[in-house]
């Protein structure tokens, strides 16, 4: 009978969350016109009649879902683990709680929406890290809840996101090496793996071009698979390079280990720079060694959280891409040398 039909029944039939059904049937914003019509049609066919209690059922949860691909998350020891902690703090400071959900590769490939969204447990979503383009398109277009991205950039998709300045940061690092007398400079990173690595590569290329250094294809060295897994070994020869620009500090550390295993000394023989100014905790790596471009994770997290909250409340916010700049941190892996060397 009609009185037995619930919001959950309609949500299950349409394939959305209870919150989406509530908003659609009560005329509240937060769902697309197309979805609202579809929900109402399903509700009518099922014989749903809104009760006074259900009309008042739409309430904020006070929670924000934070979705991270499982292959990028390594708890508090990883870059994304640390960034997640900054997001949680920023949410707490703004009277919200973060609910972490790891995105499994199968769910990403099958285009499944996050469980926290299906269960109606959150008021908004933050997606962190590189994801499949089609999956991102679906998340942007689902129209059910406000969505923001963090450290995710895809030029082919219009999305609201906060990223670090990979292009300019790597440009500065490369220019820094050139000003210290280096001319044969390699780039280490798979530009096919993520758009952020590609941005860093082109920042590196810009610095070479401005300094009249002709790039050679052999100077581009991959460090990982297309799925983001960094190799245990990256270099199989010095390639007559006197410096390496690495897309992250973790890659830089492996490059340094490879060079030292080949009998070279860093920075006496070869200079190496990284990006992020971050190394995993407890991995036997020296975080105080690598000259790097420091990413302001705290500012990135705060910008993302505050913008998402404004979006949720239908207030004016910075739409599109927000870029948070950082700075070069000089440590122990770069040695100044003359051009003659």
Residue-level pLDDT at 55: 40
Cα–Cα–Cα angle for 321, 144, 112, rounded to 5 degrees: 90
Residue with tokens 């905790």: 281
Q: Please tell me the predicted confidence (pLDDT) of residue 326.
A: 95
Q: Of 49, 13, 78, which is closest to residue 228 (Cα–Cα)?
A: 78
Answer whether residue 11 shows pLDDT above 90.
no
- Mean pLDDT over the full length of the chain: 87
277-332: per-residue pLDDT in tens?
A: 988 765 556 778 999 999 999 999 999 999 999 999 889 999 999 999 999 999 99
Confidence of residue 193 (pLDDT cuts 50, 70, 90): confident
Whether the pLDDT of residue 169 is over 80: the answer is yes
The token pair at 148 is: 């923001």
- So where are the chain's domains? 2-55, 63-164+296-325, 166-294
Question: Residue 57: is its pLDDT beyond 60?
Answer: no
263 band by pLDDT with thresholds 50, 70 and 90: very high
Rounded mean pLDDT of 18-23? 78
- Does residue 74 have a pLDDT over 70? no
For residue 29, the model assigns a pLDDT of: 72
Which pair of structure tokens corresponds to residue 127?
């997606």
Within this chain, domains 63-164+296-325 and 166-294 share the same CATH topology: yes
pLDDT tens digits along 223-255: 987 666 777 899 987 778 999 999 999 999 999
Topology of domain 63-164+296-325, CATH: Rossmann fold (3.40.50)
CATH architecture assignment, domain 166-294? 3-Layer(aba) Sandwich (3.40)
Matching CATH number, 2-55, of 1.10.760.10, 3.40.50.970, 3.30.300.20, 1.10.260.40: 1.10.260.40
The average pLDDT across 28-37 equals: 79
User: Which pLDDT value is given to residue 56?
Assistant: 38
Confidence of residue 19 (pLDDT cuts 50, 70, 90): confident
* 170 contacts 201 by C-beta, under 8 angstroms: yes
How far is 243 from 238, CA to CA, in rounded Å? 10
**pLDDT at position 220 over 50:** yes
3-state SS assignment for residue 51: coil
Q: What is the dihedral of CA 150, 152, 156, 159, to 10 degrees?
A: -10
Q: Residue 54: what pLDDT?
A: 44
Amino acid 89: pLDDT: 96
Percent residues over pLDDT 90 in the chain: 54
The yes-or-no verdict on residue 8 having pLDDT over 90 is: no
């Amino acid at each position: 009978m009609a009185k037995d039909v619930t919001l959950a029944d309609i949500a299950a039939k349409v394939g959305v969350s209870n919150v989406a059904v509530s908003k659609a049937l009560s005329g509240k914003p937060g769902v697309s016109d197309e979805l609202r019509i579809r929900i109402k049609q399903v509700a009518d066919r099922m014989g749903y009649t809104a009760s006074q209690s259900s009309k008042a059922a739409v309430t904020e949860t006070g929670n924000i879902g934070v979705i991270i691909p499982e292959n990028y998350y390594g708890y508090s020891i990883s870059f994304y683990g640390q960034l997640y902690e900054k997001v949680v703090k920023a949410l707490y400071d703004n009277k919200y709680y973060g609910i972490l959900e790891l995105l499994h590769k199968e769910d990403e490939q099958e285009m499944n929406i996050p469980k926290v969204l299906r269960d109606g447990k959150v008021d908004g979503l933050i997606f962190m890290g590189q994801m499949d383009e089609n999956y991102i398109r679906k998340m942007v277009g689902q129209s059910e809840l406000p969505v923001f991205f963090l450290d995710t950039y895809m030029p082919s998709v219009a999305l609201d996101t906060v990223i670090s300045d990979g292009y300019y940061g790597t440009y500065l690092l490369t220019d820094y090496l050139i000003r210290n007398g280096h001319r044969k400079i390699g780039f280490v990173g798979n530009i096919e793996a993520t758009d952020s690595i590609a941005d860093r590569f082109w920042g590196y290329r810009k610095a070479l071009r401005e300094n009249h250094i002709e790039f050679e294809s052999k100077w581009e060295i991959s460090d990982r698979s297309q799925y983001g897994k960094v190799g245990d070994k990256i270099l199989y020869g010095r390639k007559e390079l006197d410096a390496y620009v690495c897309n992250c500090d973790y890659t830089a550390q492996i490059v340094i280990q490879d060079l030292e295993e080949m009998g070279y000394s860093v920075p006496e023989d070869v200079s190496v720079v990284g990006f992020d100014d971050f190394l995993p905790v407890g991995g036997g790596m020296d975080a105080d060694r690598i000259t790097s471009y420091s990413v302001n994770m705290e500012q990135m997290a705060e910008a993302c959280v505050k913008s998402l909250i404004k979006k949720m409340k239908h207030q004016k916010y910075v739409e599109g891409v927000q870029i948070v700049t950082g700075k070069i941190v000089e440590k122990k892996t770069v040695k100044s040398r003359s051009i003659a060397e």
